[in-house]
Structure formats: C-alpha cells, structure tokens
Structure 1
Amino acid sequence: MKSIEDIMAMAQNVQSELSKAQATLDTIEVEGVSGGGLVKVRASAKGRIIGVDIDESLLQPSEKGMVEDLVAAALNDARAKADAASSTEMGKLTSGLPLPPGFKLPF
C-alpha cells in the first residue's frame, strides 16, 4: 500500500500533466467545413474559434438564411473535431493511470 505522501505526489504529477495537456489542446487546430467547402471554421482542440472563412459566392442578401445554416454547421463540425482531438490528447495522459473504467479527467 502506498503512503499518503506517494499518493499526494502522484496527484500533483497528474495535475501538472493535466495542465500541460490543456495548454497543448489550445495549440491543436481543427477545421470544420460545410456546404462543400464554402464555409470553413478553424478552432483549437480546446474549442476556441480561431477563424471563419465564407466563400464570396454566398455573400448575397438572398443567401442570408443559407449562410447562417452553413456557419452553424461548420461550427458544429469544428466542435466535433475539437472534441475528438481533445479526447485523443487526454487519452494519452490517462493511459498510464490506474483509473476505473469510465472515469474522466478533469473532474
């Protein structure tokens, strides 16, 4: 059985690694796309929106509703990709830890 000092040291190490992983997530970029590439959204794996690119052909008043839908779809696509990248990165961190099944970090 490990001593309380060993457990505390392990917890501090996990916290340090978690902080590093969170910082790394903000440097990983994903791109959400909709409308066959007419609307693109770049985001970090942490979920921060970095940029939006809308093809000029969509910039007409009659296309307003479609552009709004495409932007929403591209944002959702970027968010899904950011979540996947985040899960992959966090999985690397927790792979060596003796955590029960289904346990997720951060708490």
Structure 2
Amino acid sequence: MKDLMGMMGKAREMQERFQKLQEEIATMEVSGHAGGGLVEVTLSGKFEMRALKIDPSLFKEDDVEVLEDLILAAHNDAKAKLDAAMQEKTREMTAGLPIPPGMKLPF
C-alpha cells in the first residue's frame, strides 16, 4: 500500500510538472530566418505566427516566388527551433524518471 501511495504522489508531482512545462512553452517565442536573415518569422509556443519581417529589398514583382519560398523556409526554421526547445525542456523535466524508451512527452 505504501508503494501505491508513493506512486500516486509521483504521478501528481509529474502532472504538476507537465502543467508548468505547458505554461512555460506557451509563453515561448522562437524566430526562424531564411535568405541570410532577409525573412524572419516568429512563432509562439503554440505554433501561432506572431511576427513576420521581410527585408524591403525583396519587394520586386518578378521575385514573388522567391519571397514566398523564403517565408515558408523561415516558418519551417522557427518551427524546427520550437520543436527542439520543447524537446529539451521536456528532457530536462523528465530527467531521472523511469520512462520507457520511445515514449513521447507531453502526452
């Protein structure tokens, strides 16, 4: 019975830690860049686009496709950085916990 109570306490602690982690991630902002910094996209921890900056030198009629590609690349760069930051924070939070290999967190 003592082990069950200990497990329940650990589960409650883990739930509180995940809640804190989710709140921390939600307030994060990450920027991605493309074209050597000519395009910058900023995403929130909820993957919402918060800002888009485009260097004025890219505003040419015949370069619309290039601009579109750079915006997509900057967005994908920001998303990859946010994913990496979320994984790192989850790894830090779960350090030392007996979690089966391959299990992805948060649930």
2:75 aligned with 1:75: yes
Q: Percent identity?
A: 44
Counterparts of 1:48 and 1:96 in 2: how far apart (Å)? 32
Gaps of 5+ in 2: none
Q: After TM superposition, give the deviation of residue 45 of structure 1 in Å.
A: 4.1
What amino acid is aligned across from residue 25 of structure 1 in structure 2?
I
- Shift of residue 27 of structure 1? 2.5
TM-score, normalised with respect to structure 1: 0.88
2:13 is aligned to 13
The residue aligned with 1:98 is: 98
1:53 aligns to 2:26 (yes or no) = no
What TM-score comes out, normalization by structure 2 length?
A: 0.88
Matched, 1:3 2:3: yes
Count of residues in correspondence between the two structures: 107
User: In 1, are the aligned partners of 2:90 and 2:106 still within 8 Å (CA)?
Assistant: no
- Distance in 2, matches of 1:84 and 1:46, equals 14
> Structure 1 residues 31, 83: closer, same or farther in 2, change over 3 A?
same
Matched, 1:26 2:26: yes
* Structure 1: 5+ residue stretches without partners: none
Letter in 1 for 2:62: S
What code does the residue aligned with 2:48 have? R
Taking the aligned partners of 1:49 and 1:9, their CA distance within structure 2 comes to 38
Two-structure CA RMSD over aligned residues (Å): 1.7
The answer to whether the 8 Å contact 1:43/1:50 transfers is yes
What displacement does 1:47 show?
2.5
Deviations 1:80-101 (A, max 9, x none): 1101111111111110211122
Question: Contact 1:45–1:82 (CA<8 Å) still a contact in 2?
Answer: yes
1:2 CA displacement: 5.1
